[in-house]
Every structure is written in structure tokens, then in C-alpha cells.
Amino acid sequence: MLKLSATFENSLGKVHRWSFNEPNRDLTGIEVQEHLEKLSELELFEKEGVRLFTQVTSAKLIEVIETPLF
């Protein structure tokens, strides 16, 4: 399984993390950054008056490999 893990700064300047399972493997890092920046510009996500995604600060792909033991 592949997961995209992104870190954003919220409107209070604190870290807010977001992840997405099975992202498009064909996108380049620049394309992913552009999409995450667009997400922050939409101003859709807020909790108790705090915007959760004001600026994307980093993103990484995480590959999970499961190995059954028994």
C-alpha cells in the first residue's frame, strides 16, 4: 500500500498533518505540491475557528509492506 503524507501549517502556525491512501503514482513531486497548494487555497477545512491547511510545508510517499508472520 502507498500513502501520501502531507504536512501543513494551520492558521495558528501549528503543524497539521493529512494523509491519502493510494495516490496517483504518475504525478511528479512538483505536481503533488501544486495540488496540495490548491487544497490550502480553497479554505474548506476549519475546526473551532482555526483554518487547518493554510500552507503546505512538506509531503512524502510512504510505502507499507505487510509480511504475514503466521
Q: Is 38 exposed, middle or buried (0-12, 13-18, 19+ CB in 10 A)?
A: exposed
Q: 0.85 exceeded by the pTM?
A: no
pLDDT value of residue 34 = 96
The tens digit of pLDDT for each residue in 36-55 reads: 999 999 988 889 999 999 99
- The list of the chain residues with pLDDT below 70 reads none
pLDDT value of residue 43 = 83
CB 46 within 8 Å of CB 54: no
